[in-house]
Amino acid sequence: MRGVNIVTEKTISQRKLLGIAGLGWMFDALDVGMLSFIIAALKVEWDLTPEQMGWIGSVNSIGMAVGALVFGLWADKIGRKNIFIITLLLFSIGSGLSALTTTLFAFLVLRFFVGMGLGGELPVASTLVSESVSAKERGRVVVLLESFWAFGWLIAALISYFVIPSFGWKVALILSALPAFYAIYLRLNLPDSPAFSPKKAEKRSILQNVREVWSKKYARSTFVLWIVWFTVVFSYYGMFLWLPSVMVMKGFSMIQSFEYVLIMTLAQLPGYFSAAWLIERMGRKFVLVTYLLGTAGSALVFGQAETTAVLIVSGIFLSFFNLGAWGALYAYTPEQYPAVIRGTGAGMAAAIGRVGGILGPLLVGSLVAAGHSIGFIFALFCASIVVGVITLAFLGKETRQTELT
C-alpha cells in the first residue's frame, strides 16, 4: 500500500507541474497568437505600412532573443523556478501596459519587454519539466506541455474573432494579461528542478557555461540545435504572425480571415497529441524530420493556394505539422546537455532561433512591399525548413530514453 501511495503522489506531482507550467505556456501563446490579429487591426486603426507591421512582430522576437539568452544563462545560476516567475511577471505587466499605448513607438517598446518575458520563459519551462520527469515519459510530457500553446492560440483566435471587431484590440490585450497573474501565484509554491544544484551553480561562472556549450563534447549538438531552431522560428513567425494579414491580401475580409485562422488553429491540437504519442515510440529525430517536412510541403501549397478549400486545408496541415514539430523540438533541446549547462544551452539555442523570428516577419513585410507574391514568400520558408531537416537528419543524435545527468 505504501508503494501505491508513492506512485500516486508522483503522478499528482507530475500533473501539477505540467498544469502550472502549461498554464503559463498557454498565456504566452495567447499573447503571441493574438498579436497576429492585433497587427491586422492596427494596420487599419493606425494606417500602418507593411514594413511597420513587420516591425511589430520583429521587435517582439528581438525581445524574445534577448530574454532567451539572458534568462537561459541565469537559470543555471539562480534556478529554474526563480526565472520562471520573473519571466511571467515581465510578460504580464508589459502586455497589460501595451493596451494603454496610443503610438506605434510606445507599443514597440513594451512589445520588446513582453518578448523578453516570453523568450525567457519557454526554454526554462521545458528545462524544468524535462528535469522533473523520468526518461521514459519525458518526451511525451514535454510535448504535452507544448500542447498548451495550442489552447492559448485557440483562445487568442476566439478573443480576436469575438472581441477585437466589437470592442477593439486594447480590451483583448487586457483580457490576455490579467489571468497571467494567477499563473504567477501558482508558481510561488512550485519546487525547483531536482537537477539544479545551487552549490554547483555558485562554483561556475556564466562565461564558463557558455564556453562549455561550444566545447568539443557538445559542439556538434549545439550546431544542430542552432540551425534547426533558426529555421523553425524563422519560418513559424514569418508565416503565422502574418497569417490573418495574408488572408486579407488574398481577398478575404478581416472577419473572414479571423474565422479561417480559427479553423486552422484547431489543427494544432491533434498535431501536438500525435507528436506526443509518436515521440517515445519512434524517437525525437523521426518526429522532428517527419513533421518539419510536412510543414514545408504545407507551406508550399498554402502560398500557391487560389481557392478557399485549398487555402483552408493546407492551412490546417500547416498548423498540424508545424506545432507538432515545435513540441518535439522543446523535448529534444534540453536532452543535449548536462544539468549545469542545460539552461544555458537551451537558452542560447532559443535565442539564435529568435533571431530567425526577427528576420521572418521583416522579410515578409519587405517582400510584400516590393511586390513579391505570397507563393514566392512561402516557398522561401519551405526551403529554410528543408535546410533544418537535412542538418538534423545527418548530424543530429537521437536522445530517446536518455537519462539526464
- Examine the pLDDT at 179 and tell me if it is beyond 80: no
Residues 6+ apart with CB under 8 A from 295: 235, 318, 321, 322, 325, 385
The answer to whether 116 and 66 are in contact (CB under 8 A) is: yes
d(CA 273, CA 346): 23
CA distance linking residue 312 with residue 261, whole number of Å: 8
Three cell numbers at 293?
517536412
Does residue 165 contact residue 254 with C-beta atoms inside 8 Å? yes
Mean pLDDT, to the nearest integer, of 189-215?
85
Provide the residue type at 399 as one letter: T
pLDDT at residue 10, as a whole number: 40
Determine the pLDDT at residue 8: 33
**Any alpha helices (H) in 134-192, and if so which ranges?**
135-162, 164-167, 169-177, 180-187
Residues 6+ positions from 9 with CB-CB distance below 8 Å:
none
Q: To which H or E segment does residue 267 belong?
A: none
Q: What is the pLDDT of residues 34-89, one digit of tens each?
A: 887 788 888 888 988 878 887 887 788 889 899 999 999 999 988 888 898 889 88
All 3 cell numbers of residue 106? 510606445
pLDDT, one tens digit per residue, over 211-256 is: 999 999 999 999 999 999 999 999 988 887 777 777 777 777 766 7
User: Which residue did the predictor score with more confidence, 391 or 309?
Assistant: 391
Q: Cβ contacts of residue 363 below 8 Å, gap of 6+?
A: 54, 238, 377, 380
Could you tell me the pLDDT band of residue 346, with boundaries at 50, 70 and 90? very high
CA distance 28 to 85: 13
Query: Cα–Cα distance between 190 and 128 in angstroms, integer?
Result: 11
Quote the pLDDT of residue 255. Answer: 65
* DSSP count for the chain of H helices, then E strands: 18, 0
- End-to-end alpha carbon distance in the chain: 31
Q: For 327-339, what is each residue's pLDDT tens digit?
A: 899 889 999 999 8
Q: Give the length of the chain.
A: 405
CATH superfamily for 2-188+205-395 is MFS general substrate transporter like domains (1.20.1250.20)
CA separation for the pair 311, 319 (Å, rounded): 12
